[in-house]
């Protein structure tokens, strides 16, 4: 169990959430890069950033990443709201991140695809480790 947090002011809570968001963005990018490589090896080159964005949004190949993408949007919305960010808000988000980032060889959907990405891509492993570090601090 982690130690009690000494500074739980709204600004400190905002900083905690911002730091977690930044590490999740690095993980998200590593996963997108890894999936793009796999996609292009299977289907051929994606020729532009616009084409890649369209594939990420609408191609079933990338659908497993949508929960993480949507979670990042949720965090952005939390950071943009006018009400002060409470420690329990940050704790709830951290719990949700822990629940989402479960890799499982026998799982389905996100957990299975996340497991596969962790197996094949060192950048994903490093980014995952950074998120876990943020969650445990």
Establish if 4 belongs to a structural domain: no
Establish if 95 belongs to a structural domain: yes
Query: What is the signed CA dihedral for 36, 61, 74, 25, rounded to 10 degrees?
Result: -20
pLDDT tens for 37-47 read 999 999 999 99
Q: What is the pLDDT of residue 5?
A: 52
pLDDT tens for 13-32 read 999 999 999 999 999 999 99
pLDDT tens for 72-87 read 999 999 999 999 999 9
Gap between the terminal Cα atoms of the chain: 11
Judge contact between 14 and 86, C-beta under 8 A.
no
Please state, in angstroms and rounded to a whole number, the distance separating the CA atoms of residues 59 and 123.
Answer: 23
On the question of pLDDT at 4 being above 80, the answer is no
Nearest Cα neighbor of 127 from 68, 62, 48, 86 is 68
Establish if 1 belongs to a structural domain: no
What domain range includes position 70?
Answer: 10-136
pTM: 0.92
Q: What is the pLDDT of residue 2?
A: 47
Establish if 83 belongs to a structural domain: yes
């Amino acid at each position: 169990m982690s130690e009690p947090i000494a500074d739980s002011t709204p600004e400190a809570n905002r900083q905690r959430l911002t730091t977690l968001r930044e590490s999740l963005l690095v993980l998200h990018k590593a996963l997108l890069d890894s999936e793009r490589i796999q996609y292009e090896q299977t289907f051929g080159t994606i020729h532009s950033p616009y084409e890649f964005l369209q594939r990420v949004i609408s191609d079933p190949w990338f659908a497993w990443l949508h929960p993480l993408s949507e979670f990042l949007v949720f965090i952005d919305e939390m950071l943009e709201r006018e009400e002060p960010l409470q420690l329990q808000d940050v704790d709830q988000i951290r719990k949700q991140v822990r629940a989402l980032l479960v890799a499982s060889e026998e799982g389905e959907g996100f957990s299975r695809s996340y497991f596969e990405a962790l197996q094949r891509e060192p950048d994903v492993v490093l980014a995952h480790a950074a998120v876990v570090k943020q969650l445990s601090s």
